[in-house]
Amino acid sequence: MALTQPVRHARAGLTWLVVILVALSGLLTAGVLTNQTTWAPKLALDLEGGTQMILAPRVQGNSQVSQDQLDQAVEIIRQRVDGTGVSEAEITTQSGRNVVVSMPGTPDTKTRELIQASANMEFRPVITGAAWTATPEASRTADKDIPAPTAEPKNASDTNWVSKDLFKKFEAYDCPTELAKPERPQNDPTKPAITCDPNTQYKYIVGPVEVPGTDISNASFGMASNSQGMSTGQWAVNLEFNGEGATKFRQVTERLVAATGFQNQFAILLDGTVLSAPTANAVIADGRAQITGSFTEESARALSEQLKYGALPISFEIQSEQQISATLGQDQLKMGLIAGLIGLLLVAIYSLFQYRALGFVTIASLIIAGILTYLAIAILGWLQNYRLSLAGVAGIIVAIGLTADSFIVYFERVRDELRNGRPLTAAVETGWDRARRTILASKAVNLLAAVVLYIVAVGNVRGFAFTLGLTAIADLIVVFLFTHPMLQLLARTNFFGNGHRLSGMDPRLLGAEPFYKGAGKFREPVTVPAGKGSSEDDGAASVAKESSRKARGAATNGERLTIAERRRLQENQSASATADHESGKGADNA
Amino acid sequence: MPSLAQWGNDLHSGKRSYPFVEKRKLWFIITLVLVALSIVVPVIKGGFNLGIDFRGGSEFTISQVQHTDVAPGEEVVRAVAPNVEPHVTNIAPGTMRVQTDRLSDDQTLSVAKSLSDAYGVPASNVTSTFVGPTWGQDVSQQALLGLVAFVVLVTILMALYFRTWKMSVAAVVGLLVVVIITAGIYSLSDFEVTPSAIIGFLTILSYALYDTVVVFDKIRENTEDYENQTEHTFADRVNLAINQTLVRSINTSMVAVLPVASILFIGAYLLGAGTLRDLSLALFVGIIVATLATIFVQAPLYATLRSGEQAVKDQAARVKAARESWPAEA
């Protein structure tokens, strides 16, 4: 015998569910077997223990921080944190406005200061230079031979800036040692400073700041071209200054072009370290400089981005900082899981109480939704580095109730159809048609809320919104591919189809009797108490009208008919009219 | 339980009916009183009990303590920062909490270390939180932005789905009622307002509308062809829809509230303050209020909004005429 439409539909749904489950668990298994991930979802810091800082950028003036600048800031903070030897630090931006730094353990004061410090870009002229390791004691200049300043310095390149003490310090300065320190020296912009250039492995004494990084209006990179506009085949970094910067830079280049040796160079410093120390080949009058040299595409891009970042020095303010003890995190996770299990158990008991055997369908659906959610979180943790936070756990627990909701909407619908006198197989189909729309509309509201929450989220709201949205999707998958197909199949079993008392879909319990009682017998038309009523004229058989009037006449309690009653009455009557006719008893106007 | 099933049957058939729409004036007055109280009570109490995230400051949580004396905690803070007034509380079995004004980085580290000594736990059992003064402002600003964006989007979504803006308006008005009353009850409970509580409030928005969509869907179904009969007025049909979905409303809010109640219990009694507790209280109150609001405010309000329409009035008049034409009955 060919399968009926609903059975085929049900089998297709269940097949799809199996396909999804197998695909997801296959993916996760593959990840675990290849040692790329673990079975357990990744945990956020509030469950795992560690330090989380949420930093807000502080910008000079009214300028806004763009996502690009924030990304640059993240890159710089990452370099600084890595430099301190903290491993596994995660630095991300959030909502395009904050930077979140998460790391295991407790960072010391210095690391914290380092993270908050602003990137400080400045242009200083080079006064003198040397190889970047400390000059061996033996070959250092004797005290009496160190040239002492003879006058007040006339400009920033003037050697009169170099005092005897500064020169001694310079000779002893060892760049590899200094750069390894987590703290970068905060140099006074009005005084000369010692600085290192990791690219060329030189150390310099540089003069006071002549152009601050904030005077850069833009930076880009590309192929350099010569005066005829032909490409020279060399990568170059283009630099643009604002009006004030252009004036200052022209004065600098005018002086530097005439100078020789180290004094021909100007150093671009970021956080006290030299990014680049180009020589000045020409006077730059229009504020558009081009830096050429042995750039690769990559190093040109890196420098141009750093320069661009220098146009907006961002320092950070710690908005919130948490050092979460691993003990507390473990406790909270354990308690969260216990709360979830208790919640699940209560929902299971309530469902069994309300829906009897059908409650098992709810429980099975919840378990499958749970498996889907678990797989999704574990896979997202692996591929997207999603970490489950306590708020996320709360979202999942709350979702137990919201998931069970859609089953209740569906079951109640099916019950309504049973009350209207439909047999279970038909009630499941018509009930589903109505319930599906309601479920889709209400889940759309849920998802919308989750998406809005996720987008505007600050702090741990995000984890909650994420799991809420994830579980809403899991719920939709389960209700479409499991709950409904299961009901379609169960409706064909004896236990459910014949309305066993414990099935939860017992029509007698629901106040409806099947019309056909078996052995060619039909039940009597139901006489529903009715009051003042209708003059409905919707084409019902005249028999139905006749008995409907009788029914009304018989009513004594004055209650009015409801739509459902009226509908049932009509259905019953037309059914019995047909039955009467067929059983040969005859009818008024058959 | 046959009697509950019987009750459901009677509600469905209309044999038993509760006058949700008929007595709407009463429900609206009660609602207005509750809304007014929810606004007035927090004001009289001097505002909400704002958590550290909104005040700014430092907080330490010490887990698995050997004793729950308050004095050692206070001594530790005074020793490190003499000008700071510490608030030490035992928030859950074996858990102490120390709150202070903002401490410097060094002070924070030093207090955390001394606290672990004072309460006889390893340093890894001390959680310290520092919150800058503008953080709370940031969170609430974003939450408000989320609220507005969500309400606007959902109003459009509902207007499109139900093809009538009046349902959207009724739903959103009810939503505001839910948020205000929940906030009022939250304030009364004296729980701290934390970012977690704010998440709870935002989630209530979703739940409240979810619930409303389900009931409104039934209303729409029942009122689809109301003009083609003279047995029931529009309001009658709305009322029937509320009654017919009553069992569902009770069941869905029960299953939604049960897991939340379990988080609330665990969060409040076993963990003390924190994400779980604040979130679940807001949700617990919100889910119950949202279910009641759908039945007593949103659905009757929709009937009221439609009652002014000429077509609804005409139909109501036809129903009245039809009823009068029936002979009087005993």
Residue A294, pLDDT > 50, answer: yes
- Band of residue A23 on the pLDDT scale cut at 50, 70, 90: very high
- Interface check for B271 against chain A (CB to CB < 8 A): the answer is yes
CB B115 within 8 A of CB A122: no
Q: Which of B113, B144, B148, B206 to mutate to test the interface with A (most CBs of A within 10 A)?
A: B206
Alpha carbon of B44: minimum distance to chain A alpha carbons (Å): 30
- Interface check for B202 against chain A (CB to CB < 8 A): the answer is yes
Q: What percent of chain A has pLDDT over 70?
A: 77
B139 CB neighbours in chain A (<8 A) are 458-459, 461
User: Tokens representing A172?
Assistant: 């002893």
CATH of domain A121-311: 3.30.1360.200
- Band of residue A379 on the pLDDT scale cut at 50, 70, 90: very high
**DSSP assignment letter at A296:** -
Q: Which of A325, A536, A538 to mutate to test the interface with B (most CBs of B within 10 A)?
A: A325
CB contact under 8 A, B130 and A109: no
**In chain A, what are the domain boundaries?**
13-40+328-497, 50-116, 121-311, 552-583
Which residue, chain included where needed, has tokens 């029937």?
Answer: B240
Architecture of domain A50-116: 2-Layer Sandwich (3.30)
- Confidence (pLDDT) at A256: 85
B256 CB neighbours in chain A (<8 A) are 398, 401-402, 404-405
CA atoms within 13 A on the CB side of A340: 20
A565 CB neighbours in chain B (<8 A) are 13-14
Query: Which residues, numbered 24 to 43 in chain B, qualify as contacts with chain A under a Cβ-Cβ cut-off of 8 Å?
Result: none
A530 CB neighbours in chain B (<8 A) are none
**DSSP assignment letter at B64:** S
Provide the residue type at B230 as one letter.
Answer: T
**Mean pLDDT over residues A410-416, rounded?**
88
Question: How many whole angstroms from its chain centre is CA A438?
Answer: 28
Residue A147, pLDDT > 90, answer: no
pLDDT tens digits for A72-86?
777 777 776 776 666
Residue A413, pLDDT > 80, answer: yes
- Confidence (pLDDT) at A225: 75
HEC letters along A468-496: HHHHHHHHHHHHHHHHHHHHHHHCCCHHH
CB contact under 8 A, A449 and B206: yes
ipTM comes to 0.84
pLDDT tens digits for A221-260?
888 777 677 777 788 888 888 888 888 888 888 888 888 8
Alpha carbon of A24: minimum distance to chain B alpha carbons (Å): 27
- Confidence (pLDDT) at A367: 92
Provide Rg for chain A, Cα atoms: 39
- Confidence (pLDDT) at B308: 87
Minimum Cα–Cα distance from B265: chain A residue? A339
CA atoms within 13 A on the CB side of A492: 12
DSSP string, A176-227: HHHHHSSSPP---TTS-EEEEETTTTEEEEE-S-SEEGGGEEEEEEEEEE-T
- B307: Cβ–Cβ under 8 A, 6 or more apart, which residues? B234, B235, B313, B316
CB contact under 8 A, A339 and B259: yes
- Interface check for B284 against chain A (CB to CB < 8 A): the answer is no
CB B76 within 8 A of CB B108: no
B323 CB neighbours in chain A (<8 A) are 532
H/E element, A428: helix A424-456
A45 vs A170, residue with greater confidence: A170
- Interface check for B263 against chain A (CB to CB < 8 A): the answer is yes
Paired strand residues for B304: none
A372 vs A274, residue with greater confidence: A372
CB contact under 8 A, A401 and B259: yes
A117 vs B80, residue with greater confidence: B80
Minimum Cα–Cα distance from B258: chain A residue? A343
CB contact under 8 A, B232 and A328: no
- A386: Cβ–Cβ under 8 A, 6 or more apart, which residues? A41, A42, A377, A380, A466
Domains along chain B with CATH numbers: 11-48+136-324 (1.20.1640.10), 57-131 (3.30.70.3400)
Architecture of domain A13-40+328-497: Up-down Bundle (1.20)
pLDDT tens digits for A318-359?
777 878 877 777 888 888 889 889 999 999 999 898 888 888
- Confidence (pLDDT) at A518: 47
- Which residues of chain B have a pLDDT value below 70? 1-4, 105, 272-273, 326-330
A535 vs B127, B135, B322: nearest CB: B322
Of the candidates A569, A194, A441, the one whose C-alpha atom is nearest the C-alpha of residue B160 is A441
- Confidence (pLDDT) at A555: 41
- Interface check for B104 against chain A (CB to CB < 8 A): the answer is no
**Mean pLDDT over residues A556-566, rounded?**
51
CB contact burial B144-174 (16+ within 10 A = b; e otherwise): eebbebbbeebbebbbebbebebbbbbbbbb
Provide the residue type at A205 as one letter.
Answer: I
Residue A589, pLDDT > 50, answer: no
Three-state SS at A291: strand
Three-state SS at A460: coil
Minimum Cα–Cα distance from A348: chain B residue? B255
- Confidence (pLDDT) at B126: 85
Query: Which residues, numbered 52 to 81 in chain B, qualify as contacts with chain A under a Cβ-Cβ cut-off of 8 Å?
Result: 53, 61, 63-64
**Mean pLDDT over residues A361-380, rounded?**
92
